Structure 1
Amino acid sequence: MSALDDLTTIRDLLRFSVSQFNRKGLSFGHGTTNALDDAAFLLLEALKLPVDDINPWLDARLTHSERRHALELIEARVTTRKPSAYLVGRAYIQGLGFRVDERVIVPRSYLGELLMNGTLEAEGLGLVPEPEALGSVLELCTGSGCLAIIAAGRFPQAKIDAVDLSADALEVARLNVADYAMQERIKLHQGDLFAPVAGRRYDLIIANPPYVTEGEVAAFPPEYAAEPVMAHVAGPDGLDLVRRILDGARAHLTPGGALLCEVGTGREALEAEYDLPFTWLDTEESQGEVFWIAAEDLAR
Structure 2
Amino acid sequence: MGEPIINELLSVRDWIRWGASEFQRANLFYGHGTDNAWDEAAQIILWVIKTPWERLNQIVDTRLVTAEKQEILALFQQRIQKRTPVPYLTGTAFFAGLEFKVDSNTLIPRSPIAELIEKGFQPWLIEEPEYVLDLCTGCGCIGIAVASVFPSAQVDISDISTEALAVAEENIAKHQLEGRVTPIESDLFANIPGCYDLIVSNPPYVDAEDMASLPQEYHVEPRLALESGADGLDFTRRLLAEAADHLNDNGVLIVEVGNSAAALEAQFPDVPFTWIEFERGGHGVFLLTREQLVEHAADFKQKLL
TM-score, with structure 2 as normaliser: 0.91
SS of the aligned residue for 1:257 comes to: strand
Superposition map of 1:240-279 within 5 A: 240-274=234-268, 275-279=270-274
1:76-110 deviation line (CA, Å, top 9, x unaligned)? 11112110111111111133111111111111111
| 1:208 partner letter | N
| 1:2-49 C-alpha deviation (Å, 9 max, x unpaired) | 111111111101001110101011111111122122112222122211
C-alpha contact (below 8 Å) 2:46/2:52 kept by paired residues: yes
Which residue number corresponds to residue 225 of structure 1?
A: 219
**Which residue number corresponds to residue 127 of structure 2?**
130
Are the equivalent residues in 1 in contact too, given 2:159–2:185 (CA < 8 A)?
yes
Letter in 1 for 2:125: V
Greater than 6 Å deviation, 4+ residue runs:
none
Is the Cα contact below 8 Å between 2:206 and 2:260 reproduced in 1?
no
| Structure 1 residue identity aligned to 2:215 | P
In structure 2, distance between residues paired with 1:55 and 1:282: 33
Tell me the equivalent position of 1:146. Answer: 141
Cross-structure match for 2:79: 77
Give the secondary-structure state (helix, strand or coil) at the position aligned to 2:284. Answer: strand
Residues 281 and 287, structure 1, Cα contact 8 Å, conserved in 2: no
1-side partners of 2:175 and 2:107: how far apart? 19
Say whether residues 1:168 and 2:163 are aligned partners: yes
What corresponds to 2:298 in structure 1?
none
- TM-score, structure 1 length as denominator? 0.93
Aligned length: 292
Q: Larger deviation: 44-53 or 93-102?
A: 44-53
What does the per-residue CA deviation read over 1:170-222, in whole Å, with 9 as the maximum and x for residues that have no partner?
A: 11111111101111111111120111114x21000000001101232233332
Find the aligned partners of 1:95 and 1:12 in 2 and give their Cα distance. 29
- List per-residue Cα deviations over 1:129-168 (Å, max 9, x = no partner): 433xx11001100000011100101111111111101101
Counterpart Cα distance in 1 of 2:55 and 2:85: 20
For residue 290 of structure 2, what is the aligned residue in structure 1?
Answer: 295
Match of residue 32, structure 1, among 31, 34, 59: 34
Greater CA deviation, 259-268 or 211-220? 211-220
What does 1:31-50 align with in structure 2 at a 5 Å threshold? 31-50=33-52
For 1:178 and 1:72, the matched residues in 2 are separated by: 30
**Would you say the 8 A contact 2:96–2:145 is kept in 1?**
no
Compute the displacement of 1:287 (Å): 5.0
Contact 1:211 1:232 in 2 (8 A): yes
Mapped partners of 2:212, 2:16: distance in 1: 32
| Runs (5+) with no aligned partner, structure 2 | 296-305
Tell me how far apart the structure 2 counterparts of residues 26 and 272 of structure 1 sit (CA, whole Å). Answer: 34
The answer for the alignment partner of 1:4 in structure 2 is 6
Gap change, CA 1:289 and 1:76, over 3 Å in 2: same
Q: How does 1:14-29 map to 2 (within 5 A)?
A: 14-29=16-31
Q: Partners of 1:85 and 1:141 in 2: how far apart?
A: 19
Residue 293 of structure 1: how far off its partner (Å): 1.3
Q: 1:53 to 1:212 in 2, by over 3 A?
A: farther
Q: Which letter does structure 2 place at the counterpart of 1:130?
A: E
SS in structure 1 of the partner of residue 16 of structure 2: helix
Give, as a single letter, the amino acid of the residue that structure 2 aligns with 1:47: I
1:62-73 matches, cutoff 5 A:
62-73=64-75
Name whichever of 51-60 and 274-283 sits farther off.
Answer: 51-60
Distance 2:110 2:126 in 1: 26
Cα distance between partner residues in 2 of 1:224 and 1:53: 30
Distance 1:160 1:147 in 2: 10
Q: How does 1:109-128 map to 2 (within 5 A)?
A: 109-118=111-120, 120-121=121-122, 126-128=123-125
Q: For residue 103 of structure 1, what is the aligned residue in structure 2?
A: 105
Residue 195 of structure 1 aligns to a residue in which SS? coil
**Equivalent position amino acid for 2:31 in 1:** G
Aligned residue identity for 1:262: E
- Kindly state the Cα deviation for residue 273 of structure 1 after the two structures are TM-superposed: 2.0
The reply to whether residue 156 of structure 1 matches residue 151 of structure 2 is yes
* 2:267 paired with 1:282: no
**1:188 aligns to what?**
183
SS of equivalent to 1:242: helix
